[in-house]
Structure 1
Amino acid sequence: MFKQFPRRPDQAEASVVPLHANAGGQAMADRRSDDPRQSTSEERELIAFLELKGRLHEALLDRLNFAVIDKIMPDELRREVAGLAEEVLAAENRPMRGPDFQRLVDELLHEVLGLGPLEPLLADPTVNDILVNGHSSVYVERAGILERTPVRFRDEKHLLRIIDKIVSRIGRRVDESVPWVDARLEDGSRVNAIIRPCAIDGPSISIRKFSKMPFTMEGLVAQGALSEEAAGLLRGLVRARFNILISGGTGSGKTTMLNAMSASISDRERIVTIEDAAELQLQQSHVVRLETRPPSPNGSGAVAQRDLVRNALRMRPDRIIVGEVRGAESFDMLQAMNTGHDGSMTTVHANSARDALGRIEQMVSMNGLDLPLSAIRSQIASALHFVVQLSRMADGRRRVTAISEITAMEGDVIAMQDIFVFRRKGVSADGEILGEFTATGIRPRSAEALAAAGINFADSHFAVKG
């Protein structure tokens, strides 16, 4: 299983600062960089311990037989790695306590089989985002709040090796000629990586983790993202095949909401999804997932979202779901919604429902088509029925801030009315945003169409409470 084996190029830098390093160790590292004169015996001991770990990682990786490593059971692999680690420690006459030895074996397995120091963060269900700002600075987001971790890479080469490992799995590359890349992990988590010369302070990775348990509308209600009445309306709109635009800023929960709403789609419908990086977790059985492709190193072979939207129209879809519209595909999406593909949904980056329509309008107008503004707005008004606006607030919580109905054109302006809104009432002593999600008292004009689809709401459903 193990023998003296030539090191692969991507194992050039395998050692890593231990994931279990505590905040005190991080603070000591920071003090060392600020004033070397403040070095203490404790700091020197920490440095020596980290250097020993680096040598052990390299020595062990030198001896791994990668030709058979994927055929070995995990428990057997762990025993063999532990045995090799014991050999190296004995040769250097350096004893190690049991817990530290187990951590060493864990870290080596992470390096060989996974993404090194990122593995425990990826396995932590409380972590939503992982943000690597250079090899010595790693942050995570938990419950909407950013916090720094003691996780570190050994050096920049080690971080670059992990980036290459991520992107090579899906046939992509990143180098000085193309210094950024969008990718995804095997579990669907979205990854963006950028390196020098664009990343001035060193390579950076942003990972938006893919929830293993997709959010449901019930779960969002329980978290306070919206009210049960609003959730009921959204379920009805999806079942009745209204076209819906989900709008919000970065990290506001647009994809989460799209996943939750899609659960109301009938299992008897054919759905085609189109994304830059596959994130949607649709539960239906009849789903065709399409993903864009970046250009090859010679600049050819790119597949844009617009190409996929056009192709989707030939695939006999009942609904088309575009993960996010960013450009020319917006026009084709509107055309699909206007030509029989009712019940389609998409998302867009915008800070309000009105801004969302403005962004769609802008994207269509930049499409090279010589269309008057009134014609573009008329297309939008007839294609889209509702806009769901989300926001990530100062306390880190993600909430639906408005559900707005597009009613008609009034002159050259698209008329809208809010059906449900989140009304802020203040901030608590611990910084939590206080407020409530409430109906505005306006009954949607689409109530008759909902009733025709067998979905009836009493007038009290849209009444202002309190």
Structure 2
Amino acid sequence: MSSLGDRLAKAKADASATPEDREAAASAAVLATTAAAIGDAEAPGRRVASASGPVDPSVTRRLAHAASQHQDRLEELKGSIHGELLRQLGPQLYDVNMDQDELEKRVKQVLKDVLGAQDRPLSNSDRNQVTLEITDDILGYGPIEPFLRDPDVTEVMVNGADNVWLEKRGRLVWADAKFTDETHLRRTIDKIVSRIGRRVDESSPMVDARLPDGSRVNAVIPPLAIDGSALTIRKFSADPLTAADLVAFGSLTQRSSEFLDACVRGKLNIVVSGSTGAGKTTTLNVLSSFIPGDERIVTIEDAAELQLHQEHVVRLESRPANLEGRGAVDIRDLVINSLRMRPDRIIVGEVRDASALDMLQAMNTGHDGSICTVHSNGPRDTLSRIETMVLMAGMDLPVKAIREQMASAIDLIVHQSRFKDGSRHITHITEVERMEGDVVTLQDVFVFDHSAGFDEDGRSRGRLRSTGLRPKFLEKLAYSNVTVDPTLFAADGL
């Protein structure tokens, strides 16, 4: 028997065929094509092109209805399979002590049994789709799991169950993915935070957490999030960037990289500053990689994400309060405790509160070579923000005393910015010199030169250039037996 497509071609070739015959044949061909698409396409409901000319709107409506029914059936099937998996495996799915490979094996076996017991047969493409989505949901994080596996995606932003955005190569793009409903999204958030002993509910509607690979997570749920729960995941690079990578990307120059290497080995106290998403943690990782391997390093973070490859590293992580509002351990407590741990270096992921006072005191009491990050808009603003955070400690210190502490403790500020084209660059490497009256004087050693403008794609042509000024702390580096090539400071175009 000839196919519907053959009959359509025959009807077109038959000059004696009536218009009704030709329309019926065309409609039949489109319906047949769509039926095949629903059964075998990678994505149900994809657009079906017909070479037979315009299609009756009623046919289009029937096709859309059929595709919608098909998708609804798949969603119903996924829901029933998910419920069956929960019934059979129960608490094993959320047992943090269970081996992940064993759990994955059990889930796939149960999934295979449940799919095999279905009354209505599934096409191969539907079976593969349901298997992948259920596996991602049970073992991973549902519809956002493919983006967490994508190396080009650096951040995943969920603004409600049906609104997902991504950051790719520094730019925001909409993602064709959604959660089934708010309950599905909340279940995913609970899975993330429960694995590290944290919680999110109406009494505690905001939470900072991390994925097992170290990716940074923030979640906000209703009533604070008006349009549905908001989930933000800043992905963790499995292969941390090196100084050579930053030079290749244009974030650093070879000369400034060599200078920062000498500053870290010479045990200068360094503050990495910048706005949200500017790449401070990446730069902090790179600076930490310059630390010699024979030193004891203590890292302090809200959510552990630093990747240090030295052998002697002690990692500390803050802890929120429990259900009774007790047991909280903040960054300041950990900084104070770290002073009793005989550290050669103290690295704080981010200073954002009164811990700034304890960090300054650590830098001023023999713990040279400490590094931390601070949110700010520039080197001068960095000092102003640290001053404000010190005042948050409630010690009622005079402002001049705080500034003298900063001038004595901090040697270098490395400021980083994210440009409009999505690229991230170190824009200032600035020496903190001394007090002159009531003002802390700063001296730029390297500054980003914007004079070259932008190319046709909107990317900056500028680069980090030396100002030609030699920093005063070169003598301090010499005491640590670290020499710096004077040609690094030769002016190169500013």
Mark the CA change 1:261 to 1:24 in structure 2 (over 3 Å): closer, same or farther.
Answer: farther
1:210 deviation in Å?
0.9
Q: Aligned to 1:161, which of 187, 204, 217? A: 187
Q: Does 1:196 align with 2:222?
A: yes
Distance change in 2, residues 1:286/1:50 (3 Å) = same
- The whole-number CA distance in structure 2 between the counterparts of 1:418 and 1:125 is 36
8 Å Cα contact 2:301/2:349 also seen in 1: yes
8 Å CA contact 2:141–2:188 kept in 1: the answer is yes
How far apart in 1 are the matches of 2:131 and 2:142?
12
Partner of 1:54 in structure 2?
A: 75
TM-score by length of 1: 0.88
Once the two structures are superposed, the pairs formed by residues 144-159 of structure 1 within 5 Å of their partners are 144-159=170-185
1:295-315 alpha-carbon deviations (Å, 9 max, x no partner): 112211111111111111111
Higher relative contact order, chain-length normalized (CA < 8 Å, sep 6+): 1
Which residues of 2 match residues 46-445 of structure 1 at below 5 A? 46-64=67-85, 65-66=88-89, 72=102, 74=104, 77-78=107-108, 80-88=110-118, 91=119, 93-96=120-123, 98-424=124-450, 425-445=452-472
Instruction: Return the offset for 1:453.
Output: 2.8
Supply the distance in 2 between the matched residues of 1:354 and 1:270 (Cα, whole angstroms): 31
Contact 2:447–2:464 under 8 Å retained in 1? yes
Distance 1:42 1:192, change over 3 A: farther
Distance in 2 between residues matched to 1:352 and 1:320, nearest whole Å: 23
Deviations 1:275-313 (A, max 9, x none): 111111111111111111111122111111111111111
Q: Structure 1 stretches (4+) deviating beyond 4 angstroms?
A: 20-25, 67-71, 73-77
What amino acid sits opposite 1:125 in the alignment?
A: P
SS across alignment from 2:315: strand
Mind listing any 5+ residue stretches in structure 1 that lack a counterpart?
Answer: 1-19, 26-36
1:107-155 per-position Cα deviation (integer Å, ceiling 9, x unaligned): 1111221211121111111111000000001111011011011111011
Q: Distance in 2 between matches of 1:22 and 1:458?
A: 63
SS in 2 for 1:433: coil
Deviations 1:91-113 (A, max 9, x none): 0x3532x2332121111111221
2:65 paired residue number? 44
Matched ranges for 1:19-34 at <5 A: none
| Counterpart residue type for residue 321 of structure 2 | P
Instruction: Work out whether residues 56 and 85 of structure 1, in 8 Å CA contact, stay in contact via their aligned partners in 2.
Output: no
Structure 1 CA distance for aligned equivalents of residues 141 and 472 of structure 2: 52
Q: CA shift at 1:167, angstroms?
A: 1.1
Q: 1:22 offset after TM fit, Å?
A: 9.1
Please state whether the residue corresponding to 1:128 is helix, strand or coil.
strand
| Alignment of 1:450 onto 2:477 | yes
Amino acid at match of 2:237: S
Q: Which amino acid aligns with 1:48?
A: Q
Give the Cα separation in 1 of the matches to 2:266 and 2:302.
Answer: 28
The corresponding residue for 1:11 is none
Displacement of 1:359 in angstroms is 0.2
Structure with greater Cα Rg: 2
Distance 1:117 1:337 in 2: 46
CA distance in 2, matches of 1:22, 1:83: 24
Q: % of aligned pairs identical? A: 48
Q: Distance in 2 between matches of 1:45 and 1:411?
A: 78
Give the whole-Å Cα distance in 2 for the aligned partners of 1:41 and 1:405.
71
Question: Residues of 1 paired with 2:67 and 2:454: CA distance?
Answer: 43
- Cα deviations across residues 336-360 of structure 1 (Å, max 9, x unaligned)? 0000000000000001000000000
Aligned partners of 1:415, 1:259: CA distance in 2, in Å? 28
What are structure 2's unaligned runs of at least 5 residues?
A: 1-41, 48-57
CA 252–76 in structure 1, closer or farther in 2 if over 3 Å, else same: same
